[in-house]
Amino acid sequence: MPHGALAGKVVVIVGASSGLGLSALQACLAAGARVVGVSPTGPIPADSDGVRTHVGDARDPHTALQAIRLALDAFGGFDALYHVAGGSGRRFGDGPLHAVTDAGWDETLRLNLSSSFYSARAATRALLERKQPGSVLLMGSVLGRSPSPGFFDTHAYAAAKAAIVGLVTTSAAFYAPQGIRFNALLPGLTETPMSARAMQDPRILAFVRDKQPLDGGRPGAPADLDDAVVFFLSDAARFVTGQALAVDGGWSVSDGSPR
């Protein structure tokens, strides 16, 4: 994206303390935005006067709303929200359908789908109240469309990520007359704290070499998504809504067979 693509924009990133969110925060700053990052633990490491941190849990319905208020108070505006927060539900009891526990289902959807809903709702209400256009970008996953039963068998997680695409498309249709755009990113296997289990499994890494064949068959890096993030949040995407973009190294178009 060109330098200054987000000049004058105020962006809220929910889940900005590490991985995809922290990389996106740095990319938005480099593109000229001022950013409020939501972190569950403490201040976000960023060497810039254009960053504020709101400490909160994305699963709390008030967190995104409070972060938007901070953006308005600190920077005098609010233009876009990127929701990254989420994660695996294995520790709660997610797994194949027959093995998913009630807690595994509830907590995985709360962590991934409900949190995304809270962020999208807060952003929409704020933009409607201010009578201005804006952009809402949510985090899906290729697993919501392109399963891998051999290595990634968390069915509540896949259901949550598939539902995010549904939320994006229906919201995009409804709010287009108000100029509020909704889109989603669908990453493949990306090297983040969430993917530590996969990154330590040589069988999965061997599988990914064929499943994500672009650029030598590697796991993604957080920076691989940054240009797409800046694009969707910027005015360059002013005529784009209701889209779910796979940034997956070819995962969704590959059967993973050795070549």
Query: Within a domain: residue 149?
Result: yes
145 found inside a domain: yes
Domain that holds residue 88: 10-247
pLDDT digits (tens, 9 = 90+) for 184-220: 999 999 987 777 777 788 888 888 999 999 999 999 9
Residue 2 lies in a domain: no
pTM: 0.96
What pLDDT does residue 201 have?
A: 80
Least confident of 27-41, 108-122, 184-198: 184-198
Residue 102 lies in a domain: yes
Average pLDDT, stretch 31-49? Answer: 89
Chain centroid to Cα 256, Å, comes to 25
Confidence of residue 90 (pLDDT cuts 50, 70, 90): very high
Q: What is the CATH number of the domain that holds 176?
A: 3.40.50.720
CB 32 within 8 A of CB 10: no
Inform me whether the pLDDT recorded for 42 exceeds 90. Answer: no
pLDDT, position 1? 61
**Which residue in the block uniquely carries the two structure tokens 């694009």?**
231
Say whether 37 sits in a helix, a strand or coil: strand
Cα distances (angstroms) measured from residue 48 to each of 12, 55, 116, 120, 205:
15, 18, 27, 26, 36
- Read off the pLDDT of each residue in 24-30 and give the average, rounded to a whole number: 97
**Tokens of residue 167, six digits:** 């939320």
* Percentage, residues of the chain above pLDDT 70: 98
Position 256 pLDDT exceeds 90 = no
**Of 47-56, 98-107, 172-181, 222-231, where does mean pLDDT reach its minimum?**
47-56
In a domain, 252, yes or no: no
pLDDT of residue 40: 94
Residues 130, 10 contacting (CB under 8 angstroms):
no
Query: Is 254 part of any domain?
Result: no
CA angle 121, 127, 130 (to 5 degrees): 140
Residue 218 resides in a domain:
yes
pLDDT for 2: 62
163 within a domain of the structure (yes/no): yes
Q: 161: how many CB neighbours lie within 10 A of its CB?
A: 25
**SS3 sequence, 181-216?**
EEEEEEECCECCHHHHHHHCCHHHHHHHHHHCCHHH
pLDDT at 45: 78
Q: Which phi and psi (to 5°) does residue 247 adopt?
A: -120, 80
Mean pLDDT, range 118-133, rounded to an integer: 98
Q: Specify the pLDDT at position 202.
A: 86
Distance CA 257, CA 106 (A): 34
Split at pLDDT 50, 70, 90, the class of 257 is confident
Number of domains in the chain: 1
pLDDT score of 47? 65
